[in-house]
A and B are shown apart, each in its own frame.
Chain A
C-alpha cells in the first residue's frame, strides 16, 4: 500500500520542554518524522514550545509554531492551518495527552482532522489502565492483580484485598511520577494521597507489587497490512520496582531462552492488535518471575518512547522515521532498510554486540531529595555504550557517565572501600545511583554471585559477568601488566578495560601501559548494521572494541571531528546537542566530512544520518584519541583531519581539549578558555580593559574566605571554579553561613568530591553579590581578524543571584537604556578581542543603577545559543562554525549569511526555565544561584507581557485571570511589592498577605482582603498552608531574602507545588506576571510561525 495521496498537510506535536521522563529523545524522533514527511511531499506543521530543539529549526518543518502546548493554543493553530491529519505519536506523552484533550474538546471532529498513527480509541485503551486491563484479559494475557481508586478509602479497600506489597500508579502520568511501593497501610495511605493528587484525572491504580521480577521491553512495529516486527528487546538489569528510565538496561535481552522469547513476542503482537495500534512503533513491557517463568504484561505505550530511541540507536533501525512513513500509508516491506539499502524494513534487526544504557541522576543539585530509586523516574539523562560483550559495554558506559570513574572496575579509588558490611549490603539491595559501584565493592570483597543475586534480585548472569571483570581487575592489581601474555592482554581489553584504568589499577605509568597495549591489542572499530554482518552496510556508524578487523572505510575529503556533550544533566543538555548538530550541517555544507563523537542515545547528534560518520563512544581523552587515530588512518592521500570542535558541547569537550594537540582545536585557543576561567588572569584583563567587576577574591580555606569578605563585605556569592550550572554556588549573607558553605566545599567527601575537590588551580571564588542588579547575557561571534557579530542581548527577568539557567530572559531587552546597550556591545567586543576569540563567546553582565559590571565570559557556545537563533532567525552556530574554519564576518555579511548588526526583531521572545520540583517534593522550590532546571521553553508575542505569559503557560504555569493573589514579601521587597499589589488590585484580583506585608500595604492604602498568619501565630489570621490547600489562592508571590527567611516560606512553596498553584519567588518575575496578565487581557494572543516572524 503506497503513500496516501488524500492527505496534504500534517500537524506534528512535539514534546515541549526537557523534563524528567521526557527528554531530547523526542527531538530525535520528531525531527526524523518531520524530515520524512517533508521528503514524502507533505506540508508539515509543527508545534513545540522548546526552542533548543532541532525540530523547531525553521528548516525542519514548513510551518513552525514555537507556542505553548495547550489545548486553546493548539485549537488556534488547527483553525489557522486546517491540516488534513494530526500525528500524535512522536511527541511523547505530552503530544498524546494533548491529542486526547483535543479529541475530547471536539475540535478534531469539528475541523475534520484525521488522527493518524494511533487512533484515539487505541490511545485510550493503552493509556487508561482499566481499559488496558480489560483488553489484556480479553486476549488471555495476565496482568498484575489490581484495582482503580478515586479516593483513599477505595484505595485501602483494594489494597487489603490484594495484600502487601502494593504498588501505586497514578493514571495518565509521565515517566512514573507519583508512583511508589508500600509494604504497610501507613505508607500506602501517604502514597495513595500523593498519587491521587498527581493524576490529572485523580485516579490511581492499586496493584500487586512484583518488585524483584525480571523486566523486559519489546520495541514493536506494525503496519496497516498487519505486518508486525520486533525491532529490539531490552532487558532491565535492575529488576521490577525500579522505573525502567532509572534502570540500567541492556539490549538485546540476555537471559531469555528462545522458547520464552518467542512466546513473549507472540504476546507483544497480540497486545498491539488488541489495543488497536494500526501503524507505528510501540513499546510493550513484561515482567517475568525468575523462579517460574510466569509472565505478566505491565504496560504498553502506543507511540515512540525513550526506549524506542534507545532501540533505534542500539540497532540502527530508525523507528521514528519508519513510524512516520507507516502513518502515511506505507507498509514495512515498501520501506527500504536505511542501512543496507537493498533489503526492506520488514525484518527484525539482529545485532552482534551488546548495548548498555546507564541513567544519570542529578541528586547533587537537589539537596534534601532522597537518592533512593523506585518506581518514580528521577534521572535527568542517560548514556549508552556499545561493546562486543556485556562487560565491555558496561565499562564503556560507566566511563561515558563522566563521573570520574574509569570503568566498572574502580582500581584504587573504590568509593565504598571504607563502608561496613551491613551498609554495603544496604547499598546493594536498595537501589541508588551508586548501586553499581556497591556491587563492585561486594564482589571485590569476595561476596558470592549467588548470594548477591538472591538478595538484590539482579539476574546472576549480569553479576557473573561483573565478577569476571573483578577477577581480571584483581589479577591486574596483584600481578601488574608484566604477567600478561599477548592473548591475555587482548582478553583484558575485551572486558572493556581502558589504558587509564589498567594504569590506575596496576599503578604503572599510563604512557607505558598504552604503549605496551598498543603493540598487542589495537583499537578496532566495528559497524552497527542491523543485520549482524549478513549484508553489506553503507552507513558509517561505528563503535570501538578490541578485535582483529577494523571497518572504517577510507574516504577522500578533509574531515572535522565534533565532540558532543555526553549525557544530559542539569546545566548541560539539549542546547549543546543542538549546537553540535548544526556544526555537522554546516560542515557538510562547507564540503568537509563531519564526524560526530557522542554517547547520549537520546539525541539528534547520535542519529547516524546527522554527521557523515558517527562514533558512539565515551567522551574521554583515550576514547577520543582512538577516534582521531582511526580518522587519520582513514584519510585517503591528500585528505586530513582538519580539526576538532570542542567549543560547542559544553564542559564535556572543553575538559578534553588539553589532551588534544593544539593545532587540531578549531576556533578559540584552549589557553583563552583557561584565561577566562582563571580568576587572576580574568581580573587582570578586566582591569586592563577598564571594565568594572564586582569586587572579589579567591580562597582555599575558611580563613582566606573571611579575609576576602572583610575586604568586600556581605552579601557574597561563593562558588567553585570549573563547574557546571552553578554547581554548589551560594549567596552568603553572614558569617555562620560562610562557615557552613566553606566546610561543605572543602571537606574531602563534600559537594565537590566527584569533581576533583578544591585545589590551588581550582580555588573557591568569592564575589560581592550585587543585590537587585539586572543580569544580562550576550552571545556573540568574533572572527580571527577581529570582526564581531553580537547575535543577541538578553535581559534576565529575575535579578542577579538567580542562576542564569533558571532565570527567565527576554530578547530584546526591555528596561536597558540605549547607552547601557552600547556599553555592553563595546565591552563584549573588547573582551572578545582580549581573549582572542575565534567563534562563539558568551558574556554575562550585571547592570545596577545604569552601571555595567562584567560577571564572567565564556569563549564557547552557551545554553542560550538556540534561543537566540530562534528569536532572531539567524543560525548562530552556522556563523560560528564558518568563522572557526577561517571565514571572516565581513565576507559572510557580504554573502548575506550574517546581518550587518544585531537583529532587532519586532516581536519579543521570552525564555523560561522548567524546573523538576514535582519529582522531588522534598526539595525547596526557591530559586538561587545553583541551576536546577532541566529544560526551557520559549514564548513569542507582540509585547513582553504576552511573551512572558506564553512562556509561563508553556512551562506549565497558567497565570490566573481572576481570583486571589497571596503576597508574602521580604522587608526589602516591600516598596516594589506595593507597586505590584496595586497592579494586581487594578487587574481585579483580591489580595491576601502575611501580617507584615499586609500592614505595609494597608498603610499605603491598598486593601488586603485576607490576613495570613506567620507560622506559629495562628490566632492573628488564616494559616497560609490551609488557605492554599483550600483552593482560595490562585497565585502566590513569596520573596524571602536572607538565609533565615528562606526556610519560613518553604511550607508555603511546598503546598503550592503539591496543589499546583503558581508560586513566584522573585518580585521581578511577579511584576512580569502582572504585565502578562494585563497584556493578555488587553490584546489576546496570536499564534505565528517562525517562518512568518523571520520572513
Chain B
C-alpha cells in the first residue's frame, strides 16, 4: 500500500515522522490531546470508547489491526477519538470474526491515523511530560506544527454533551429498574447492567427530577470523556439523588460521584490507559487486573464521609470509593472490561445486591 509521508508534532515541539493512514482529512491535519494505551488487544473497543473524545490514541503495541474489526466489538454508535498513532497497521486482517480491515473501518469512521511512528519514543515523551496536545498530518510540516501549537488539551472542557445519547432508550427486560446516565456510556457497560436490570439509558442533560420521575430503583453513572471539574450541572444532579436511590459510578461517573460527595479531582500526569492495571480491593485484600482509561482522578485528601474501597497497586491512586450511608459506590476503572480482563465483574453483582437491599427496605 502506498502511503503519504506524514509528521506528528506535539505542543512542546517534539516532531516525529510517519506515514498517513486511515482517513485522510481534507485539511491534512488532525489535532487533539495525545495519550497512550498499553493494551495488547482490543483496538476496536478503544477506538469506539466515547471517553477518548478529543484525544489521539497512541497504541504502544506495535501491530494494529491484526484480527480486523467486527460490529460486535463496537463500544458505541460511532468512533469518538480524534486520531490514532500506531507503529504498524495490518491491511489484511485474519480471524473468523473479522468483517473488514481496521484501515477500511478508520476510513469509514473518518478517523485519521499516522503509522510507522516510533511510538515508544512518543510514549516515553508523554510519560515524562504528561499528556500533551498536538497534531499530525500529511500536509507540510509547518502547517502541522502550527496546528499543534494551537491544539487544546482536555482541561476544563465538557465533552459529555457531544457523546451522550440524544434520546433515552431501554435495554434489558427483567429486574429492578436502573436509570443509566449516559456521559459517554460504553455498550458493554449497558450489556452488563441489562443482564441484571431493566435499564433506561438517558441523556446526560436529563434533569434530576425527570430521572426520578422514571421511578428508578437505582441510578448508574457512566464513564465519559473530559474534565470532571467542568461538569457542575451533573454534580448538582447527583447531589439531588444522593440518599434517595442507590448509586453506582464508573470512571467519569466515579469522579462525578466523588465531587457530589464533596471531594475534588485532579489531572494525572499521563493517566491510566491500558488493560493491565493492578487494583487492590481493600475489603478483601485481593488484587484484580483491570482495564483503565482515565486522565483525572479523585483527590484522596479531599474525601469526607466516603471511604476508599479500592486503590491502584502501582501508584496508590484512588480506584474505588463508597459511602454506605448514602448507598453509593463507584470505581475509577472498568469492570465491564471490553477491552480488558473480567476480574472486576463482581462489582455489578455488588450493585445488584445494593439495589436489592434498597428495595427490601422500601
Contact status A346-B287, CB under 8 Å: yes
Asked if residues B39 and A227 are in contact (CB atoms below 8 Å), the reply is no
In contact, A343 and B286 (Cβ under 8 angstroms): no
Interface set, chain B 311-348, CB cutoff 8 A to A:
313-315, 337-342
From 224 to 240 in chain A, residues with beta carbon under 8 angstroms from any chain B beta carbon are: 225-227, 229, 233
What is the CA–CA distance of A789 and B304 in the complex, to the nearest angstrom?
Answer: 75
Q: State in angstroms the CA–CA spacing of A549 and B128 once bound together.
A: 15
Task: Tell me how far the C-beta of A2 lies from the nearest C-beta in chain B, rounded to whole angstroms.
Answer: 13
Output the least CB separation between A911 and chain B (Å). 45
Interface flags, B198-222, vs A, CB<8A=1, else 0: 0000000000000000000000000
A389 and B287 in contact (CB under 8 A), knowing A343-B313, A461-B94?
no
* With A390-B63, A487-B17, A548-B118: A350-B88 Cβ-Cβ less than 8 Å: no
Task: Given A259-B73, A533-B120, decide whether A347 and B278 contact each other with a Cβ distance below 8 A.
Answer: yes
Q: How far, in Å, is B39 (CB) from chain A's closest CB?
A: 7
Q: Which of A633-666 contact B (CB under 8 A)?
A: none
Known: A229-B289, A254-B63, A549-B120. A534 touches B274 (CB 8 A): yes
Point out the residues of chain A lying under 8 angstroms from B289, CB to CB. 229, 346-348
Give every chain A residue within 8 A of B241 (Cβ-Cβ).
none
Chain B residues within 8 Å of A293, by CB = 96-97
| Nearest chain A CB to B140 CB, angstrom units | 16
Would B337 and A262 count as touching, CB distance under 8 A?
A: yes
For B67, the chain A residues whose CB sits under 8 A away are 255-257, 461
**Complex: chain B residue closest to A252, CB-CB:** B40
The chain B residue sitting closest to A254, CB to CB, is B66
Residue B93 at the A interface, CB < 8 A?
Answer: yes
Tell whether, in the assembled complex, residue B127 and residue A534 are in contact, meaning their CB atoms are under 8 Å apart.
Answer: yes
Complex alpha-carbon distance, A259 and B338, angstroms: 7
Chain A interface helix/strand/loop/mixed: loop
Flag whether A353 is at the interface (Cβ < 8 A).
Answer: yes
Given contacts A255-B95, A350-B40, A354-B62, contact A262 B277 (CB under 8 A): no
User: How many residues of chain A are within 8 Å of chain B by beta carbon?
Assistant: 58
User: Of A262, A290, A531, which one neighbours B38 at CB under 8 angstroms?
Assistant: A531
Are B276 and A347 in contact (CB-based, < 8 A)? yes
Q: Which residues in A have their C-beta under 8 angstroms from that of B302?
A: none
Q: Find chain A residues with CB under 8 A from B309 CB.
A: none
B358 on interface, CB distance cutoff 8 Å: no
**Is the C-beta of A464 less than 8 angstroms from some C-beta in chain B?**
yes
Interface string of A240-256 (1 = CB under 8 A from B): 00000000000011111
B127 engages A536 (CB within 8 Å):
yes
Report which of B72, B93, B278, B337 forms a contact with A346, defined as CB distance below 8 A: B278
Enumerate chain A residues within 8 angstroms of B87, measured Cβ to Cβ: 352, 388-389
Contact A262 B313, CB 8 Å, known A256-B67, A547-B121: no
Give bound CA distance, A482 to B61, whole Å. 33
A266 within 8 A of B: yes
- Complex Cα spacing A461 to B95, Å: 9
Q: Of the candidates A252, A258, A349, which one forms a contact with B340 in the assembled complex, judged by CB atoms under 8 Å apart?
A: A258
Does A333 sit within 8 A of B, measured CB to CB? yes
**CB-defined contacts of A349 to chain B, threshold 8 Å:** 276
| Nearest-CB residue, chain B, relative to A487 | B5
C-alpha spacing A535/B72, complex, angstroms? 33
User: Bound state CA distance, A347 and B39, in angstroms?
Assistant: 13
Report the nearest B residue to A348, measured CB to CB: B276
Find out whether the CB atom of A350 lies under 8 angstroms from the CB atom of B280: no
Contact A352 B120 (CB under 8 A): yes
A257–B60 touching, CB < 8 Å: no
- Shortest A267–chain B CB gap in Å is 11
Residue of A nearest to B315 (CB): A343
User: Closest CB-CB distance, A338 to chain B, in whole Å?
Assistant: 15
Given the known interface contacts A351-B61, A460-B92, A461-B66, the answer about A258 and B342 at a Cβ–Cβ threshold of 8 Å is no
Instruction: Assess the B92–A532 pair: CB atoms within 8 A.
Output: no
Query: Is the CB–CB distance between A262 and B118 below 8 Å?
Result: no
- Would you call A352 and B123 a contact (CB within 8 A)? yes
The reply on A182 being an interface residue by CB < 8 A is no
Nearest CB in chain B: distance from A710 CB, A: 64
- B88 pairs with A389, CB closer than 8 A: yes
Binding site for A on B (CB under 8 A): 5, 16-17, 19, 36, 38-42, 44-45, 60-63, 66-67, 70, 72-73, 87-88, 90, 92-97, 116, 118-121, 123-124, 127, 274-278, 280, 285-287, 289, 313-315, 337-342
Closest 8 CB pairs of A and B: A258-B42, A258-B339, A532-B60, A461-B94, A348-B276, A549-B121, A532-B38, A548-B118
**Chain A to chain B contacts (Cβ below 8 Å), 28 pairs:** A257-B67, A257-B70, A257-B95, A258-B338, A258-B339, A265-B342, A331-B287, A333-B313, A344-B278, A346-B289, A350-B275, A350-B276, A352-B119, A352-B120, A388-B88, A389-B88, A459-B94, A460-B92, A461-B67, A461-B92, A464-B92, A526-B120, A531-B276, A532-B38, A532-B61, A536-B127, A547-B120, A548-B118
